[in-house]
Chains A and B, each alone.
Chain A
Amino acid sequence: MSVIQNVPGLRRFPVGPLWLVLPAVALLAVFFLFPMGRLFLLGVQDPATGAFTGEHYSRVFDTSVYWRILAITFRIAILTALFSVLLGYPLALWLSRMDSRRQALIALLVLLPFWTSYLVKTFAWMILLGNRGVLNTLFMDVGLIERPLRLMYNEFGVIIGMVHAMMPLAVLTMLPVMNGIDQRLALAAGTMGASRSQRFWLVYFPLSVPGAAAAGLLAFVTSLGFFIVPAFLGGRGQTMLAQAIITQVQELVNWSFAAVLASLLVITALASIWVYNKLFGLSVISGAESDDLPKRTSLLRTGGQRLLRFMAWVSAPFDRFRSPDGITNKKVSIYPLLALAFLVAPILVVFPIAFTSSNSLQFPPPGYSLRWFEQYLTSPVWISATLRSFGVAFATAFFATVLGGLAALALARSKSLWNGPIFALILAPMVVPRIVIAVGLFYLMAQMGLVATDAGLVIGHTLLAIPYCFITIGAVLKNYDWRLNQAAETLGAGRFTIMRRITLPLLRGGVVSAGLFAFVTSFDELTIAIFISGGLKTTLPKQMWDDMFLQLNPTLAAVSVVVLAIVTVILLVAQKIQK
């Protein structure tokens, strides 16, 4: 194999191709790093004099309410991560053993809930879990229970909603790792006399651990900053940190406290990532190639191996229930189908409600009508929110794709020492809790007069979408054959012709799906919209959020159906193009 010996076009830029990341880095520096820093400072400064003080921190820690909130946030985040990984692992395993065509098709059932907005999902759970919700009605009708069970406004409701929200992320994080595991290794172990359990626990499972750990980390970090699910499905005892931050900013206008809470959130998130990196390395999450050996202390290693041998021993008696070859399981698997149903079915409940003729969320609907769609389409508030969401999402898709794509192009070709820090900066908006980004942005944009402007929203959403675009386009670039550029150059093409005729057409799939993902990210985005979109002119998710607080009504179901339809179409288009 010939290695790329040199980079055409590079020689003429003495600084290398790294200058292409400048737009993305500049945007992130001004609207992400800077407000983060400001927010942190607010937490350690006296609001009047600006002098440094530890007063806010000590006041937070002196109040038992905040300790409680902190503990609850941790508890919920850990439980969510745990269940998401445990329930998602077998599903991911099942998917990873399919051939790639089937896998792509069935993975759509995971991608759809992944991209469905948290608001729609939460709304669906409210329909399901309510006192007179679908489940209680069903249980009472069959005579299972006499009085309605309390399924929400408690920890159960929060956890089920959170796990439903995070499981797709967990599955989609584990799947590539499992796809990368050479299936022949287990076969080889079999030829050496390993039983089915031994093959799984001693060979397959250890190889899949980095993926499972990454899934747990992402689910945990995302859950830390969550507020939608606990706000609607939890009771007062399930108030999470992000909700407390919103209250501090919007109701109490106590920036110092909000800053302290936000800093705690960020510190926790970064600390978990640090621990993960110490144990596993970040390559699974970032998608970067890594030749590093697993970093593990020998104690952890031997302990882990002992545990795995124990697991193999414990599960050995169940081997005979499985197919004898132990690799392919020809029997229909019940669990993955149940898991897929858990992910998809709750969302579908919005459909009958959207077409109900009743004024309530009654299930099953007493009759069907289109009145709620009519209501939606004739409501100036809903329509203007929809149009605004579309406009902002289009602009976000454009800017995020261009900035993220250029950054991916630059980092793919650069060998600079700056690559690492730039890489971290570009991915940072994905791991810093959104609520913190939103609060920091609100503080900055209030001073710049960007609150309640479309520009403010587009900037905020672009920040969030850049990491997705960067990763999507970076993945395509990884398989890009750079010798094609050399070939085109020797055939007489200049740099821009090469870009136009060779590079862009070959990256088209990645670029278009990056744009679509950015579009969906913005279209579904609530957190930043809560702070930046302003009171009167809102976006679709913000309007849903407000309505869900005021009064649950079937219009919300009709809107959910519209949102679902749009997201589904976009996903299908992206899937088609990526092939």
Chain B
Amino acid sequence: MTTGTGESEIVLEGLSKRYGTFTALEPTSLSVKEGEFLTLLGPSGSGKTTLLQMISGLVDPSAGRLTVNGEDWTHRPVNQRGMGLVFQHYALFPHMTVAENVSFPLQMRKLPAADISAQVEETLRKVQLDRFSHRFPKELSGGQQQRVALARCFVFRPKIILMDEPLGALDKALREHMQLEIRRLHKEYGTTVIYVTHDQEEALVMSDRICVMNHAKVEQLGAPHQIYSDPETVFSATFIGHSNVLKGTREAADDNWATVRTANGTFSGRYTARDKATQDVALVVRPEQMRVGPAPSSEFEGLRGRLSELVYLGSETRLLLTLADGTNIMLRHDPAAGAMPSIGEEIEVHWLKSLARVVA
């Protein structure tokens, strides 16, 4: 993966948006490096589009500052930002052919006609649409329309491209294909990309860094592996991949370690919560880190529960355990660990303490 190579290109300082008394985005600060692929990931209504549109200039921030390459762009007009924006439903001009759509930004930049047709042709070739240049958007499939939208954006070589759930309307196979295509174009042009999605898998595949958002706030910002292995909040831990969560109160803690008292026992783990002030914490353990059987040494911790369900997923089988207080725990069945337990059976599970995390 390419990581941002240059300086911070886009800097947000306390950028926020309110509609009347409703807060669409709490004050948010973050910076994006040149050439970076940053994904805004969160459920619907979490403020992703609002944040993206403030960067694009389509929405005026209520407070805060946006700088691009050190210049204050907070209130710069949209058409003078030179950012590319790819919309969810493409927003292709229905009365223009593919070629005319892709020419549009170049015409706005008053390029000579010869250059325009050369660049349009080249870009359409890159997205394998050169044969369709005289069709109207209506005459194309969803995936092809999506590629026109990408071509129209990449053709004027914007240094920054913003994409708002661009693949949301496509089916799964096409989406995966287009994910690779977008990555390829991103690398080829060295563009900075800010990408919005609510699909965690898509975020993991594509991003240099992921910005997890929830309830109009940034929950966590970091590289995909970092967010997966060291979640800072219960939301991050559960929104990206599956996590078993045992809520409780913090007993003892230093910078790195904390102990949590829960209804099912007292456990400890790496203390990754960003908010170290709160007593309300939770222990999270990923399903693949749990094993059936009693804890073999003091490196491990474990608990007991009743097997309530078996979920067969083809490549693996998952066990669903119900604890004494009703909490459910999920783990993978390890074929090497012996025979499949049967439903209703009381079983013990354990995990390596150093893999557990204490989050806020």
Chain A positions within 8 Å of B, measured between CB atoms, are 1-2, 5-6, 8, 11, 481, 483-484, 486-494, 497, 501-502, 505-506
Question: Does B252 make an interface contact (CB < 8 A)?
Answer: no
Contacts of A1 in B (CB 8 A): 88-89
Which of B7-15, B91-99, B124-132, B224-232 is the contact stretch? B91-99
Q: Which of B77-121 contact A (CB under 8 A)?
A: 78-85, 87-89, 91-95, 104-105, 108-109
How long is the Cα–Cα vector from A505 to B97 in the complex, in angstroms? Answer: 13
Known: A492-B108, A492-B109, A505-B95. A5 touches B50 (CB 8 A): yes
Docked-complex contact B105 and A5, CB < 8 angstroms: no
CB–CB A2/B89 < 8 A: yes
Contacts of A5 in B (CB 8 A): 49-50, 53, 58-59
For the complex, give the distance between the alpha carbons of A483 and B91 in Å: 6
Evaluate contact between A8 and B58: CB separation under 8 angstroms: yes
Q: Which bucket holds chain B's interface residue count?
A: 20 to 34
Please name all residues of chain B whose beta carbon is closer than 8 Å to the beta carbon of A488 when the two chains form the complex.
93, 104
Contacting pair B108 A491 (CB below 8 A): yes
User: Do B94 and A6 touch (CB < 8 A)?
Assistant: no
Enumerate chain A residues within 8 angstroms of B109, measured Cβ to Cβ: 492
Chain B 182-205, CB-CB to A under 8 Å as 1, else 0, gives: 000000000000000000000000
B89–A483 touching, CB < 8 Å: yes
A5 CA to B56 CA, complexed, in Å: 12
Q: Which residue of B lies closest to A3 (CB)?
A: B49
Say yes or no: A481 contacts B91, CB within 8 Å.
yes
- A492 near B53 (CB under 8 angstroms)? no
Instruction: Give A485 Cβ to nearest chain B Cβ, in Å.
Output: 9
Would you call B58 and A486 a contact (CB within 8 A)? yes
**Quick check: A6 and B87 within 8 Å, CB to CB?**
no
CA distance A506 to B96 in the complex (A): 10
Task: Name the distance in Å between A548's Cβ and chain B's nearest Cβ.
Answer: 47
For A502, give its contact among B80, B93, B156 (CB under 8 Å): B93
Q: Is B34 an interface residue (CB 8 A)?
A: no
Q: Is the CB of B156 within 8 A of A491?
A: yes
A92 to B346, CA, bound (A): 70
In the complex, A5 Cα to B52 Cα: how many Å? 11
Question: Is there an interface contact between B85 and A487, defined as CB atoms closer than 8 Å?
Answer: yes
The winner among A6, A486, A491, A497 for most chain B CB atoms within 10 A is A491
Q: Please tell me if the beta carbons of B108 and A497 are within 8 angstroms of each other in the complex.
A: yes
| The residue from B60, B79, B87, B89 contacting A493, defined by CB atoms under 8 A apart | B79
Nearest B residue to A490 via CB reads B85
In the complex, chain A residues whose CB is within 8 Å of the CB of B152? 491
Q: Which residue from B53, B82, B88, B94 sits with its C-beta under 8 Å from A506?
A: B94
Nearest B residue (CB) for A10: B60
**Known contacts A2-B164, A491-B104; is-contact A484 B60 (Cβ 8 Å):** no
Q: Which residues of B contact A497 (CB under 8 A)?
A: 108
**Cβ of B83 and Cβ of A490 under 8 Å apart?**
yes
Q: Complex Cα distance A488/B92, Å?
A: 9
| 4 cross-chain pairs, A with B, having the tightest CB-CB distances, nearest first | A492-B108, A491-B105, A487-B91, A490-B85
A6 to B57: give the CA distance in the assembly, Å: 10
- Can you spell out 13 A-B residue pairs with CB atoms less than 8 angstroms apart? A5-B59, A6-B53, A6-B59, A6-B60, A483-B91, A488-B93, A489-B79, A490-B78, A490-B79, A490-B81, A491-B84, A491-B152, A492-B109
- Give the interface centre of B58, B60, B80, B108 by most chain A CB atoms within 10 Å: B58
The answer to whether A492 and B50 touch across the interface, beta carbons within 8 angstroms, is no
Rounded to whole angstroms, the CA-CA distance of A8 and B59 in the bound complex is 8
B91 touches A484 (CB 8 A): yes
Query: Which residues of A lie under 8 Å from residue B93 when comparing CB positions?
Result: 484, 487-488, 502, 506
Q: Are A486 and B91 in contact (CB under 8 A)?
A: yes
From residue A6, how far is it (CB to closest CB) to chain B in Å?
Answer: 5
A489 touches B91 (CB 8 A): no
Q: How far is the CB of A498 from chain B (nearest CB, A)?
A: 9
Q: State which of A2, A481, A490 has its C-beta within 8 Å of the C-beta of B56.
A: A490
A505→B104 CA distance, assembly (Å): 14
State how many angstroms separate the Cβ of B16 from the closest Cβ of chain A.
15
Provide the bound-state CA to CA distance between A232 and B303, in Å: 98
Find out whether the CB atom of A489 lies under 8 angstroms from the CB atom of B104: no
Choose among A5, A6, A488, A490 the residue with the greatest number of B CB atoms under 10 Å from its CB.
A490
A11 and chain B: residue at smallest CB distance: B60
Known: A2-B89, A6-B59, A490-B85. 16 other contacts (CB 8 A): A2-B49, A5-B58, A6-B58, A11-B60, A483-B91, A484-B91, A486-B58, A487-B91, A487-B92, A488-B93, A488-B104, A489-B79, A490-B58, A492-B82, A492-B105, A493-B79
Q: In chain B between 29 and 80, which residues have their CB closer than 8 angstroms to a CB of chain A?
A: 49-50, 53, 56-60, 78-80
CA distance in complex: A233, B50 (Å): 65
| Contacts A490-B79, A505-B95 given; does A483 touch B87 at CB 8 Å | yes
* Chain A residues, Cβ within 8 Å of B60: 6, 11
Residues of B within 8 Å of A506, CB to CB, are: 93-95
In the bound complex, how far is the Cα of B164 from the Cα of A2, in angstroms? 9
Distance of A492 Cα from B92 Cα, bound (Å): 15
A5–B196 alpha-carbon span in the complex (Å): 15
CB of A4, distance to nearest CB on chain B (Å): 9
